[in-house]
């Protein structure tokens, strides 16, 4: 674990070889160092299938005073999962860039009463292609992502976020 200091960027994780997928366990270990809050959110596992990135999460570290999911934790998780989606997509393209959330909103639909899964997909099926074209043309881009939180078969939370990929920093 690297000691984090305010105002100092965390070292990047080396890119995987030639468009290969990141090892989920290694990426999550790096994420816990890079963003200390991530280590406290109850993330148990990460999976990618097609355009979807998902986490399995434990409810216990995210309980509120009523014994259900705390909205602030759930919101942080949706935002972070979207950031991870974009970061991992860039890494598969062999691109190292900074990603930031530009806008987000959530709709709470039902209480979270047990361990849950959180999924993230592009809002538009052309989202990846549009992002790639923007990065190639102008060096920066933006993509809209949708996150859904499922407790069993119940959809408890829907979120949407716009994530910006910043241009390369001059050397």
| CA-derived radius of gyration, the chain | 16
First to last CA, the chain: 27
Q: Do residues 64 and 71 make contact, with C-beta atoms less than 8 angstroms apart?
A: yes
- On average, the pLDDT of the chain sits at 94
Whether 120 is in a domain gets the answer: yes
Q: What separation in angstroms does the CA of 123 have from each of 15, 31, 126, 128, 129?
A: 26, 24, 9, 10, 12
Whether 31 is in a domain gets the answer: no
Give me the pLDDT at residue 31, please. Answer: 95
The residue segments making up the domain with residue 96 are: 36-165
Whether 14 is in a domain gets the answer: no
Q: For the chain, what is the domain count?
A: 1
Q: Average pLDDT for residues 43-63, to the nearest whole number?
A: 96
Whether 21 is in a domain gets the answer: no
Whether 54 is in a domain gets the answer: yes
Provide the whole-model pTM: 0.95
pLDDT exceeds 80 at position 1: no
Give me the pLDDT at residue 40, please. Answer: 95
Whether 27 is in a domain gets the answer: no
Whether 56 is in a domain gets the answer: yes
Q: Which region among 11-20, 28-37, 135-144 has the lowest average model confidence (pLDDT)? A: 11-20
Q: How far is residue 70 CA from its own chain's centroid?
A: 18
Q: Average pLDDT for residues 12-31, to the nearest whole number?
A: 88
Whether 151 is in a domain gets the answer: yes
CATH of the domain at 114: 3.10.129.10
Q: Can you tell me the distance from the alpha carbon of 123 to that of 39, in angstroms, rounded to the nearest whole number?
A: 27
Strands of 43-49's sheet in order across: 43-49, 52-57, 116-122, 141-151, 154-165, 99-108
């Amino acid at each position: 674990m690297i000691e984090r200091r305010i105002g100092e960027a965390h070292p990047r994780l080396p890119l995987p070889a030639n468009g290969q997928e990141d090892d989920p366990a290694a990426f999550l270990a790096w994420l816990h160092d890079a963003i200390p809050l991530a280590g406290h959110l109850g993330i148990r596992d990460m999976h990618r299938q097609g355009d979807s990135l998902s986490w399995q999460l434990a409810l216990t570290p995210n309980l509120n005073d009523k014994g259900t999911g705390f909205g602030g934790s759930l919101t942080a998780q949706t935002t972070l999962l979207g950031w991870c989606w974009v970061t991992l997509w860039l890494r598969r393209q062999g691109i190292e860039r900074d990603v930031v959330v530009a806008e987000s909103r959530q709709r709470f639909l039902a209480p979270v009463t047990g361990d849950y899964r959180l999924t993230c997909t592009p809002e538009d099926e052309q989202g990846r292609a549009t992002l790639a074209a923007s990065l190639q043309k102008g060096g920066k881009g933006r993509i809209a992502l949708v996150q859904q939180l499922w407790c069993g078969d119940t959809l408890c939370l829907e979120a949407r976020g716009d994530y910006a990929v910043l241009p390369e920093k001059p050397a």
